Structure 1
Amino acid sequence: MATLSTTHASPSIFGGVMIIGGTIIGAGMFSLPVVMSGAWFFWSLAALLVTWFCMLHSGLMILEANLNYRVGSSFDTVTKDLLGKGWNLINGLSIAFVLYILTYAYISASGSVIHHTLGKMSVDFPARFAGLIFALVVAFIVWMSTRAVSRMTTIVLGAKILTFFMTFGGLMWHVEPATLLDSKAINPSYLPYLFMTLPFCLASFGYHGNVPSLMKYYGKDPQTIKRCLIWGTLMALVLYIIWLVGSMGNIPRSDFIAIADKGGNIDVLVGALSGVLNSRALDLLLIVFSNFAVASSFLGVTLGLFDYLADLFKFDDSPTGRLKTALVTFIPPMLGGVIWPDGFIYAIGFAGLAATIWAAIVPALLAKASRKKFGSPIYRVWGGNKMIALILIFGVTNAAIHILSSFDLLPVYH
């Protein structure tokens, strides 16, 4: 099986945008209204905008550093050379943890969504096995090639965007301005709950594992990859905002406490929206959308993990080499999905802390070290040292928030 960098026809930008957008816009978005219910709409919107800006630029910093190495080099090669073995170990553990935990989260989510979907057809299929079968299908697609993932993601994301607008077109008709603005609340408090949202926002803009994958896809073409990152992340931002309006405009703020108490899994939120809307057609569209949402994220996240592990273990791109990588990629999270099928919200939350290291702190350090060593002859992110400092501050702030919340030192909306 030839690597994609050796193919003659340069792939279109559309495929790359779909890989980035498909990775970001997924099951993680279902956690956003639940964890943002304390801060509510306007503060949550501000958190999303800041996170989008910082996560876009940290991804561009990974691209800047990665372009100085051979196509196929992932974080293990680049971080070890630029930052040394210590940082590479920390970064490697955080990458493996984030991508494994997200793969596990999507196995858990897919099991929950398929169980909920089949339940509507009066078929009782255990969530554990539904997640397992789904994971095997994704494993086969990822084993085939990056191009197979891109094509499948394009189909799934296209279907997801179509069902998204059909669903949220319906949701938007039902939006109550008084509910969205929480105007009936007496002396409401939003700002104290803002900080808790940031790690979830960060985890919901995670695509960084796909930057080396895009270099395998397009070769050393920084402008094309840059456009993929900009359009893919912007598409996610717009859909997240529509999703917040649709969910927070239909479900009163106080109702989210009960949703969070039930674990906040996708089927609980979909059930709550269905109960508010009381529409069979919208109920069906929500179920279809949630299936596509899980599928596209699952594909994107596992592609990033697959390419990272191939680089780490130096598995080649032959069918046998890809099979070894697929086994290492999928077996641990599949076992987790069978043993703990309901860990979606917890998994997304923990991913936020480790992702802070890998998707914010390390990219800023890589860009700084790359400029010192190579002068970044191929591509350089704008903003100089000020931009690097901003991304570092963003990363450290997220890490601090996560640690404080772990010790129950931040206010929780309940």
Structure 2
Amino acid sequence: MNVKLIGGMLLIAGTALGAGMLAIPMVLAQFGLLWGTLLMLAIWAGTTYAALLLLEATLRSGGGVGMNSIAQKTLGKQGQLITNALLYCLVTCLMIAYIVSAGDLVQQLLAQVGVELGLWESQLLFTGVIGAFIAQGTASVDKLNRVLFIAMIGMLFITLIFLLPNIALDNFQQQSNDNKIELIKNSAVLFTSFGFMVVVPSVVKYNQEATYQQLRNMVILGSMLPLACYLLWLIAVVGNLPATQLVNFQNVSELITMLSAEYQNLAVVLSVFTGLAIVTSFLGVAMSLFDQNKDLFKTNKLTTFLTTFSLPLFGAIWAKEQFIGVLGYAGIILVFLAVFIPMAMVLRVRSTHFKQVEGPFYQVAGGKSALLGCFAFGGFLLFSQLI
């Protein structure tokens, strides 16, 4: 695997591995480590298969900078409009959340070195600096993401050095809630934690000289990295804190405070890790929207930059922390965009009436049975968020 393929893999992993990771132990610990792990593995398998469906549709339709082109080629005008509407709603919501969180972090960091900025100024600074890298293209984002991702994994490794040696095995057997319906309700947290599909067209375009097998491996390995990190983090936290204590935390800061009380200097490490997780996720999500706008409007970089970042920035300034609660609805949008839309695209490209690119083509294994299973997976996710 060459450097660009590794960069694409890390972009996929970085987009998935966001700040939501810290919340996973709080929602899963009460159901026991076994059931939480099984649910996580099931959702990882479903989301990875759906991402491979999008990869197949991208390759067999001739590719494109963003999902706009793929949808236009496979689903027609109406499908293109629906896909764009879903993508803009989802990505804009995620970008607003990341700008709000990152702006607060930037404000605190600058205050520690004697620079006082307001929240909206900090948000503007963060958006401008990171947006400048994104406007330079995928290669620039790739290089920055590699550095940040390696640093983020380093912070996670340091955290695990603190936590893993002090694991209490008895904590793994604790289960304060055996209600499986309640467990299913938390599927949305895990599903959004693997929500990297929006960057697939961008990384395929970036690695257009790669073989189909290399691109498939890039997607699979890119999804396995966050899975490994999530499982290690879940084991470390559950092993150090009892489930009865974890379930009472109202937010991530309480979890960080509790772990920091047990281990000196861990607060700094976790804060840096959270910041890096926000930035890497923002890079992937914002890059997908930038490429989508470039593909849709076909304008210069400045206009594309303003189109991409203006609405999320104004939304973050206007909504502040209150907007974060709206993200619960983003999970439903993600189900349609990340599961049902790729399925519809694949059904179209596999039909005899579709004009495919010349030469050998890539097709995800499993046939109609796997597609039926993917449809059931999407239905399960909708059920988990509507019950």
Establish whether TM, by shorter chain, passes 0.5: yes
Hey, what does 1:312 align to over in structure 2? 296
**Matched position secondary structure for 1:379:** coil
Aligned equivalents of 1:178 and 1:117: distance in 2? 39
Give the aligned residue type for 1:177.
L
**Counterpart residue number, 2:278:** 294
Pairing 1:206–2:195 present: yes
**Within-5 A mapping of 1:238-277:** 238-260=228-250, 264=251, 266-275=252-261, 277=262
Residue 342 of structure 2 corresponds to 363
Q: Which residue of structure 1 lines up, in the alignment, with residue 38 of structure 2?
A: 46
Match of 1:57 in 2: 49
1:12 is the counterpart of 2:4: yes
State whether residues 142 and 302 of structure 1, in contact with CA within 8 Å, keep that contact through their aligned partners in structure 2: yes
Once the 2 structures are TM-superposed, how far is the Cα of residue 215 of structure 1 from its aligned partner?
Answer: 2.0
Q: Is 1:135 aligned with 2:135?
A: no
Establish whether residue 280 from structure 1 lines up as the match of residue 292 from structure 2.
no
Give SS of 2:320's match: coil
Partners of 1:280 and 1:122 in 2: how far apart?
Answer: 25
Indicate if the aligned counterparts of 2:156 and 2:273 stay in contact, CA closer than 8 A.
yes
Quote how far apart the aligned CAs of 1:313 are: 1.9
Letter in 2 for 1:135: T
Deviations 1:275-334 (A, max 9, x none): 3x2x3322221122112111111111111111122222233xxxxx12222211111111
Separation of aligned partners in 2, 1:281 and 1:79 = 48
CA contact (8 A) 1:35 1:196 kept: no
How far apart are the structure 1 equivalents of 2:278 and 2:179?
30
Offset, 1:209: 1.3
Q: Give the structure 2 partner of residue 233 of structure 1.
A: 223
Q: Over residues 206-243 of structure 1, what are the superposed CA-to-partner deviations in whole Å (9 max), with x where a residue is unaligned?
A: 11111111122111532222121111100110000011
Contact 2:290 / 2:304 at 8 angstroms: preserved in 1? yes
Q: How does 1:159-170 map to 2 (within 5 A)?
A: 159-170=151-162
The answer to whether the Cα contact below 8 Å between 1:109 and 1:344 also exists between their aligned partners in 2 is no
What's the CA shift for 1:134? 1.6
Q: Equivalent residues in 2 for 1:93-112 (5 A)?
A: 93-112=85-104
Does residue 1:393 correspond to 2:382, yes or no?
no
Which 10-residue stretch deviates more, 118-127 or 346-355?
118-127
Structure 1 position 378 matched with structure 2 position 368: no
1:73 Cα offset (Å): 4.2
Task: Give how far 1:83 is off.
Answer: 2.2
Equivalent-residue separation in structure 1 for 2:322 and 2:45 (angstroms): 29
CA distance in 1, matches of 2:143, 2:341: 30
Specify the code of the residue in structure 2 equivalent to 1:229: V
Q: How does 1:44-193 map to 2 (within 5 A)?
A: 44-115=36-107, 126-182=118-174, 188-193=177-182
Partner residue in 1 for 2:205: 216
Amino acid at match of 1:389: L
Distance 1:89 1:38 in 2: 41
Question: Following TM superposition, by how much is the alpha carbon of 1:115 offset from its aligned partner in structure 2, in angstroms?
Answer: 4.9
Q: CA deviation at 1:64?
A: 0.9
Compute the displacement of 1:42 (Å).
Answer: 2.0
Residue 331 and residue 174 in structure 1: after superposition, are their counterparts in 2 closer, same or farther (change >3 A)? farther
Deviations 1:78-116 (A, max 9, x none): 223322333332222111111111111211222344456
Identical columns (%): 27
Q: 1:322 to 1:300 in 2, by over 3 A?
A: same
| Distance in 2 separating the partners of 1:159 and 1:153 | 10
Contact 1:132/1:337 (<8 A) preserved: no
Deviations 1:162-194 (A, max 9, x none): 1110112212223332334326x5xx4242321
Equivalent in the alignment of 1:326: 305
The 1-side partners of 2:327 and 2:17 are apart by 14
- Counterparts of 1:242 and 1:305, CA distance in 2: 31
Q: Counterpart in 2 of 1:410?
A: none
Aligned length in residues:
381
- 2:208 and 2:276 mapped to 1: Cα distance? 29
Deviation per residue, 1:236-256 (Å, 9 max, x gap): 100000111122223332334
1:124 positional shift: 7.1
CA contact (8 A) 1:112 1:267 kept: no
User: Is the Cα contact below 8 Å between 2:90 and 2:330 reproduced in 1?
Assistant: yes
In 2, the alpha carbon distance for the partners of 1:172 and 1:62 equals 37
Runs of 5+ consecutive residues of structure 2 not aligned to the other structure: none
CA contact (8 A) 1:74 1:311 kept: yes
| Counterpart amino acid of residue 337 in structure 2 | W
SS in 1 for 2:186: helix
Unaligned runs of 5+ in 1: 1-9, 316-320, 405-414
User: 2:27 touches 2:247 (CA, 8 Å); kept in 1?
Assistant: no
Given the superposition, is the C-alpha separation of residues 314 and 121 from structure 1 closer, same or farther in structure 2, using an over 3 Å criterion? closer
Task: Mark the CA change 1:350 to 1:256 in structure 2 (over 3 Å): closer, same or farther.
Answer: farther
Q: 1:30 and 2:9 equivalent?
A: no
